[in-house]
Amino acid sequence: MGPAYRLLALDLDGTLIDRSLQFRPAVQAAVAAAQAAGVTVTLATGRMVRTTRPFADQLNITSPLICYQGAHVQALSGEVIYDNPLDGALAAQIVQLAAARDIYIQAYINDELYIAAERPEADEYRSFSTVPLPVHAVGDLAAWVRTNPPTKLLWIAAPELLLETLDRWGAQFQGQASIFRSHDRFGEAAAPDSSKGVALAVLAAQLGIPRAQVMAIGDRQNDAPMLQWAGLGLAMGDADEHARSAADAVLPPFAEDGVAWAIQRWILEQPHDNN
């Protein structure tokens, strides 16, 4: 018999990497060991496909990737397995609300990044990418997304203002969009049926792996749906309250290689028979 968990979904930022954008050696080694044991590993992230792919390559991940907070699942071949963009008119409303508060907001369309105009926040966002990230300034972003429905929206604001937008827009668009926090300064909007949990269920079905054999690790509110859906959902030791409450167990923090600890405990220490 093989490992108890055949599919391992890993959040990226805050779980596998920090602002250095580097994998800790123990974590990278543990992921490789899980793969050698026959476990399929995927990344489940809010990032674009183009900015996720380099990290997947470093980990020798060949399975489809969950990107855009679960709004898009794509194989490395380019085959799209799942895609669920925001309604264009709704996206335009959110862009207009951001503009009225002078909040920087960006839209993701066909794995390209669109903004109204260049601002320092665009450079802040690009600093999270290990590859060049072109940004298209289109002027009237609301008009653009109305006719080009985006995969998701992301806005950047100081923490206090960000919390205000999350509360206000979350209430205003309840049932029409998923509004959530993905970083200390980042808020996001996606279609209501878009979440890492939905995407993980789609991917598991595609791979023929039952829910009970899926393990997921994350650290933020946007990870909570996949931690709830997975057969075993694990929150990092420095996770927020949303991820912790959704998880079956809490791991050591990032600085103590929580992912490596989890792989050792729930995958590598399980009995195997690969004959």
pLDDT for 3: 81
pTM (predicted TM-score): 0.89
pLDDT digits (tens, 9 = 90+) for 133-178: 889 999 999 999 999 999 999 999 999 999 999 999 999 999 999 9
For residue 1, what pLDDT is reported?
Answer: 57
163, 83 in Cβ contact below 8 A? no
Question: What CATH class has 7-83+194-268?
Answer: alpha beta
pLDDT grade for 270, boundaries at 50, 70 and 90: low
Helices 88-100, 159-172: axis angle to 10 degrees equals 140
Q: Which of 66, 78, 229, 220 shows the shortest CA–CA distance to 151?
A: 66
Contacts of 50 (CB under 8 A, 6+ apart): 111, 131, 133
When the pLDDT of each residue in the chain is averaged and rounded to a whole number, the result is 95
CB-count exposure of residue 271 (10 Å: 0-12, 13-18, 19+): exposed
- Which of these ranges, 93-97, 128-132, 147-151, 222-226, has the smallest mean pLDDT? 128-132
The domains of the chain are located at 7-83+194-268, 88-190
274 has a pLDDT exceeding 60: no
The domain 88-190 is placed in CATH, from the list 3.40.50.150, 3.90.1170.50, 3.30.1240.10, 3.30.565.10, at 3.30.1240.10
